[in-house]
A and B are shown apart, each in its own frame.
Chain A
Amino acid sequence: MTKTDPAVDLAPLTESVVTGLPPEQVRDDRRKNAFRKPVSSLIRHAILIAAALLMLYPVIWMVVSSVRPNDVIFREPGIIFDSFEISNYVDGWNALSYPFNTYLLNSALVVLGSIVGNLVSCSMAAYAFARLDFTGKRFWFAIMLLSIMLPIHVIIVPQYVLFSQLGWVNTFLPLIVPKLLATDAFFIFLMVQFIRGIPRELDEAARIDGAGHPRIFLQIILPLMVPALATVTIFTFIWTWNDFFSQLIYLTKPALYTVPLALNAFQDAQSATDFGEMFAMSVVSLIPIFLIFLFGQRFLIKGIATTGIK
């Protein structure tokens, strides 16, 4: 951080006294002023771009390496497309006992079920916490918040016992049913925060018109909380798509493998020889996340800024 002469900082203030502009605007002006000092701003941008490149370098390198022949990959740290070995993708796709689309479909099913489950169950619970008065509300709310911090490992063993007794191991049910029961309390909290921001007058007006809670929830609140629902959808997608621990425990048949499990099997099977194929399938596995990032960034940034989820 550079030390600046206080006199420089005072300049826009004197300016504000002269022009009578509100202070907010003056700070904006001062911000713009920073860019009139081309050298320092240039250096700053150069450092930031270098940092951004360093951050993204491993990922870009993986993408480029996924279309390189195996014998070149580790000799070539460059990140310019210099060859286009599409066979990595073709061979990688069929390298395991099932073609990769099987695993993509399995992951998609788990993700879809989780999204539907979270949207329905968490929004219902959030409505109750945000809008209804009921006995012990503060207590239940506290329980809900505490459950956010509960490590999954504390419940995984008996949960596994329960689900295996129900015959649910090697089905997608252990991964989806808990979502239908609002166990991702983080999303309840996110939606409670959002509903609290919706003016109560709207509910009151609907109540005067004779609407009960189900109708207020479905016809007033839900349509208004589309941005929150989008945030929940996106985060559920990313978390479930990346999830490894519970899928590793509940899915042991290769036909049911999800993408993370398939990649893990890849690593075991190839015994670290066919990097091109491995990188190719890694890239395939990251494409959905990347697309979500491109198109849902607005909701992601808002989501983490307001609730602090990853």
Chain B
Amino acid sequence: MSALGELRRIKGSTPPKQRNQNRAAFLFLLPWFLGLALVTIGPMAASLGLSFTRYNLLSPPRFNGIDNFVRMLEDERLHTSLGVTFQYVFISVPLQLGLALLLAVALDRGLRGLSFYRSAFYLPSLLGASVAIAMLWRQIFGVDGLVNTVLAWFGIEGQGWISNPDTALGTLMVLNVWTFGSPMVIFLAGLRQIPAMYYEAAAVDGASRRQQFWRITMPLLTPIIFFNLILQLIGAFQSFTQAFIVSGGTGGPVDSTLFYTLYLYQRGFANLDMGYASAMAWLLLVIIAAFTAINFWASKYWVFYDDQD
């Protein structure tokens, strides 16, 4: 075969190449297709089916129509868990992102020792999801814990932060805020993308640092803020480990740390109420999807894309 023939084959003829690639693509994607069918879509469909049944693993599922959903309407603990989760998500995520943004801006501008600070602030996000840190949290916010020892120096009498239903959720929020390092690194990468000449042009026009921040940095960073917001919201709705460890699996005291996922776990795997747990899982999916959709819709009004002008 001549070189010219080879070249023409590469350049022009899509039809035979297409067929070849379909087969190759199928083979390359085979594990993923299997996973999608057996581990993702299949179970999703099954869980939708199970949500209309009563099922305890031991005897076959019994269809009970919309009973599970009706029960959800009357289930006080479910409502509590939704309230706890919403509080956790809508208080700790904005605080976490705000802190991440603040530190990212403080660390930008070619600060010496950037990599040291970045590491120090980033490390907690790697550790924060672990059981060990959740256990540590339980100790330092306990009655005899570190926090109260430090407060005592200032003559403030502490309390059992974890055993008090008014403050227990707060300690978990602090833990989530503590892991602001990963959104911070994303913000730092975003700040790098802003061309220096924008700032110079603004400086020529006499804009102050504050004006530069609000008129240049913030608008150009909104896509990153949006991205971080979506990511952290989805993650926070699914928090489980910290509440489980800090409350010893109960969601207490008085259900004050009963995250939605924790309640789902209790119903499904402790009470073997699998049908109800499936219905709960679908409600969670709907909630997360709804908030993500609302975010995307709202983003039209506040997220600024540089390439649209």
Where the two chains meet, the residues of A that have a C-beta atom closer than 8 Å to any C-beta of B are 1-4, 6, 9-10, 13, 23-24, 26-28, 31-32, 34-35, 44-45, 48, 51-52, 55-56, 58-59, 61-62, 74-75, 77, 120-121, 124-125, 127-128, 132-135, 137, 140, 143-144, 147, 149-162, 164, 178, 180-183, 188, 204, 207-208, 212-213, 217, 238, 241-242, 244-245, 248-249, 259-260, 263-264, 266-268, 272, 275, 278-279, 282-283, 285-286, 289-290, 292-293, 297, 300-301, 304-306, 308-310
Q: Are A128 and B124 in contact (CB under 8 A)?
A: no
**A157-B47, A162-B43 known; A150 and B285 CB under 8 Å?**
yes
CB-based contact A134/B22 at 8 Å = yes
The listed residue with most B CB atoms (<10 A of its CB), out of A44, A157, A238, A308, is: A157
Contact partner, A58, options B106, B146, B182, Cβ 8 Å: B146
CB-CB under 8 A from A153, the residues of chain B are 238, 261, 264, 280-281, 284
Given the complex of chains A and B, what is the CA–CA distance between A23 and B32 in angstroms? Answer: 48
Residues of B within 8 A of A309 (CB): 182
| A residues less than 8 Å from B264 (CB atoms) | 153
Complex Cα spacing A150 to B131, Å: 23
B63 at the interface (CB under 8 A from A): no
Counting chain A CB atoms within 10 Å of each CB, which of B28, B116, B210, B231 scores highest? B28
| Chain B, range 46-60, C-beta contacts under 8 Å to A | 46-47, 50, 57
- Given contacts A52-B117, A59-B136, 5 further A-B pairs with CB under 8 A are A2-B209, A120-B31, A140-B29, A158-B43, A267-B138
Choose one: B28, B119, B285, B288; the contact of A128 (CB below 8 Å). B28
Bound Cα distance A245, B235 (Å): 14
Specify which chain A residues have a CB less than 8 angstroms from the CB of B274 in the assembled complex: 157, 161
Residue among A34, A155, A244 with the highest chain B CB neighbour number at 10 A: A155
Nearest CB on B from A275, distance (A): 6
Which of chain B's residues have a CB closer than 8 A to the CB of A44?
Answer: 106, 111
A51-B103, A238-B126 in contact; A217/B39 too (CB < 8 A)? Answer: no
Contacts of B282 in A (CB 8 A): 154
In the complex, residue of chain B having the shortest beta-carbon distance to the beta carbon of A247: B131
Cβ–Cβ < 8 Å partners of A248 in chain B? 244, 265
Give 14 A-B contacts (CB < 8 Å), ordered by A residue: A52-B120, A155-B281, A158-B46, A159-B39, A181-B38, A181-B39, A213-B21, A242-B129, A260-B131, A267-B138, A283-B132, A286-B127, A286-B130, A308-B231
Q: Could you tell me the distance in whole angstroms from the C-beta of A299 to the nearest C-beta in chain B?
A: 12
Q: Which residues of A contact B130 (CB under 8 A)?
A: 241-242, 260, 285-286, 289
**Range of interface residues on B (Cβ < 8 Å):** 35 or more
Q: Is B257 an interface residue (CB 8 A)?
A: no
Asked if A55 meets B131 with Cβ closer than 8 Å, knowing A9-B203, A153-B281, the reply is no
Contacts of B140 in A (CB 8 A): 58, 61
- A245/B240 in contact, CB under 8 A: yes
Contacts of A120 on B, CB cut-off 8 Å?
A: 31
Of B65-73, B183-191, B298-306, which binds chain A? B183-191
Q: Across the interface, which residues of A come within 8 angstroms of B35, CB to CB?
A: 121, 178, 180-183
Asked if B90 lies at the interface with its beta carbon under 8 angstroms from chain A, I say no
Asked whether, in the complex, the Cβ of B135 is within 8 Å of the Cβ of A267, the reply is yes
Which residues of chain B have C-beta atoms less than 8 A from A164's C-beta?
A: 57
Q: With a CB–CB cut-off of 8 A, which chain A residues contact B86? A: none
Docked complex Cα distance between A245 and B131 (Å): 10
Task: Report the 8 A-B pairs with minimum CB-CB distance, sorted nearest first.
Answer: A181-B35, A31-B110, A158-B46, A305-B189, A282-B132, A134-B25, A52-B120, A128-B28
- Contacts A44-B111, A62-B136 given; indicate if A310 touches B235 (C-beta within 8 A): yes
Tell whether B145 is near chain A: CB-to-CB under 8 Å.
yes
The 8 Å CB contact of A158, one of B123, B244, B278, is B278
Residue among B112, B119, B123 making CB contact with A35, cutoff 8 Å: B112
B132, A55: Cβ atoms closer than 8 Å: no
Q: How far is the CB of A118 from chain B (nearest CB, A)?
A: 11
Minimum CB distance partner of B196 in chain A: A27
Query: Which residue of A is nearest B103, CB measured?
Result: A51
For B144, give its contact among A52, A74, A143 (CB under 8 Å): A74
Q: How far is the CB of B98 from chain A (nearest CB, A)?
A: 14
Which residues from chain B contact A51 at a C-beta distance below 8 Å?
103, 121
B248 at the interface (CB under 8 A from A): yes
Q: CB distance B28 to A282 under 8 Å?
A: no
Shortest Cβ distance from A104 into chain B, in angstroms?
13
Across-interface contacts of B127 in A (CB, < 8 A): 59, 286, 289
Decide: A151 and B238 in contact? CB cutoff 8 A.
yes
Q: Is the CB of A263 within 8 A of B131?
A: yes
B4 CB-CB contact with A under 8 Å: no
Instruction: State whether the Cβ of B34 lies closer than 8 Å to any Cβ in chain A.
Output: yes
Contact A301 B185 (CB under 8 A): yes
B166 within 8 A of A: no
A157–B57 CA distance with the chains assembled, in angstroms: 10
Interface 1/0 per residue, B81-119 and A, CB below 8 Å: 000000000000000000000010011011111001111
